[in-house]
A and B are shown apart, each in its own frame.
Chain A
């Protein structure tokens, strides 16, 4: 039934366009991806912080991984934490905190339960985009999808070096994101809705509170 559907649909598409089976396609229209805005350095960091905060994110600037850990600990304020296995998170010492800090899960189910139960998720970020104040999370061994999604509060540790100018620079650097990951997510501010009377409510399904601790 569905095999038939494939042939029928492709057949109709070809007839409609007057094309032959197996016919190639010309190159897509050419255009340049132009990288705009400040280059790497304090200007770019400032722009990221400004845009991130304009969207109700909270940004914090620290000078080292250890300071990032201290800042994160202050935000967590004793609540339960799920932390991802990422070198930056490890360097910040999150795994050594006493209290309810969960990490290093044996099974996917355990990880999932931790993400569903904990108040705060601490992750790193693959990239950040300065001009839109965006965090780019690429799923991988040290970056599960759910840690930045299920807990009501998300804290991302952002080394300065991963901050890019914008989406153009990202796609120039990573033209084939599918090669490295099954999931690349742009996170631009806290989860929100305006579905009831256009009144803004934060934290619908994802975190309502999001922090970026920028390590410069």
Chain B
């Protein structure tokens, strides 16, 4: 995705103006909020806060010693008959997959949902190398057919209605139009089942990489990740280098938090712990296993001690659901595939703050994200740091800075403050009957103030300023 130096006004306005879409985002996120709330309640999970604290500590420990754990996982995966492949960026990942496919004579790849592979546009790269890559998560499959990117980390096709889905399926597969989700799912199942059995390579993401076990952990509800990792001859797991956790026992902490925070499930339907290729005596499973560890900007981010915690994210999506901005503007108005609060803090760090300087400001700093984050990332703090960086880089217009400089001067000079206050009170429109301002006189309704008031109203200022009222009282008037 190309960055935008200013707010994507048109996209946001069209999202805000689309009543159906607004309702879809609102209900879907609302439902996820409710489910999470029940699942982490005192009754359901009494040690929730303690688990969050431990999860944060575990992530911090792993990230602070990341080189150690990377070396460990590399060794362990090799012991389990697999191979770790380091990749700098998306181009290296696709080159690796294409070379392997060519060497083994494979032409079809089945993929299960993975934000990391979305991040590097793996599908497109494979297609251009003459290898067919099929998304197998239902939502992702529909989006692949529609050529769109995910709308939400956890619920990728949140913005599609069943009628959209009917159009997509008839348009791309030529099947009869079907508007029942149950039947639509069956159609997709049939098509994808064939692909699973035919494909030579399965690519999955990894929710966690267990350094001490040389294993990847993949969490899902549909069974497509199980199929992708079990049916084809070759399994490739693609994970960012930050996905490591020390030991298998730490899953007791992370799995308890992930499903609950994401969808309110105590455990998702399938959690696969996959350590290497099929062993001697096992009846099935892949003959070859590769773990691709991707940097793609992560090591750069690691260098910043203040914002390093952004790498603790386990991609549960809770911060999106609870974000008043995400809930209005939806997923596609964010410049990158990671949307919502987590997108707002990692996109500028991956792409540089100059790329989308507006993004760290697209937040009311209400703090809901930090409150629900299962690994306790202080998202508002990181946003503030990023805002400071944007301002220092000069990527945002100087108007704001000038306004605040004037404001600071006025605040420091009480006599001027008093005079200006009186002037503002005298000049302000004062509707008859004490109603709201409604409309500013034309000369005031310009620039940011004008657009701010387009959607909002103000009560008229009091006849007398607070300071003069206070003065009068003091004199006993």
Chain A residues with CB under 8 Å of chain B are 1-2, 5-6, 8-10, 12-17, 19, 21, 23-26, 28-29, 31, 33-34, 84, 105, 108, 111-112, 116, 131-132, 134, 139-141, 143-146, 149-150, 167-168, 171-172, 175-178, 181-199, 201, 203-207
**B367 nearest CB across to chain A (Å):** 25
Contact B269 A8 (CB under 8 A): no
A9-B241, A29-B58, A183-B273 known; A145 vs B226 contact (CB < 8 Å): yes
A10-B70, A17-B302, A190-B269 known; A182 vs B278 contact (CB < 8 Å): yes
Interface size on B, residues (CB 8 A): 103
Q: State A208–B64 Cα separation when bound (angstroms).
A: 43
Contact B282 A29 (CB under 8 A): no
Contact B277 A182 (CB under 8 A): yes
Q: Residue of B at shortest CB range from A170?
A: B252
A14-B67, A178-B213, A188-B265 known; A149 vs B85 contact (CB < 8 Å): no
Sample of 21 A–B contacts (CB below 8 Å): A17-B64, A28-B62, A34-B47, A150-B227, A167-B252, A175-B247, A182-B285, A183-B273, A187-B270, A192-B221, A193-B221, A194-B221, A195-B139, A195-B156, A195-B157, A196-B165, A196-B181, A198-B31, A203-B185, A203-B189, A205-B193
Q: Which of B137, B223, B276 contacts A182 (CB 8 A)?
A: B276
Contact B302 A195 (CB under 8 A): no
Which one of A168, A176, A207 has the greatest number of beta carbons of chain B within 10 Å? A176
**Given A8-B88, A13-B241, list of 17 further CB < 8 A pairs?**
A2-B85, A9-B88, A17-B302, A26-B65, A108-B284, A145-B284, A149-B223, A167-B251, A168-B252, A183-B230, A183-B272, A186-B267, A188-B265, A191-B222, A195-B157, A204-B189, A205-B136
Contact A5 B248 (CB under 8 A): no
- Asked whether B417 is an interface residue with its Cβ less than 8 Å from the other chain, the reply is no
Which one of A145, A182, A185, A201 has the greatest number of beta carbons of chain B within 10 Å? A182
Q: State A197–B161 Cα separation when bound (angstroms).
A: 6
Contact B275 A178 (CB under 8 A): yes
Q: State A198–B233 Cα separation when bound (angstroms).
A: 33
**A24 nearest CB across to chain B (Å):** 6
A17-B64, A29-B57, A140-B281 known; A178 vs B214 contact (CB < 8 Å): yes
Q: State A112–B285 Cα separation when bound (angstroms).
A: 10
Q: State A1–B47 Cα separation when bound (angstroms).
A: 47
Q: State A187–B320 Cα separation when bound (angstroms).
A: 27
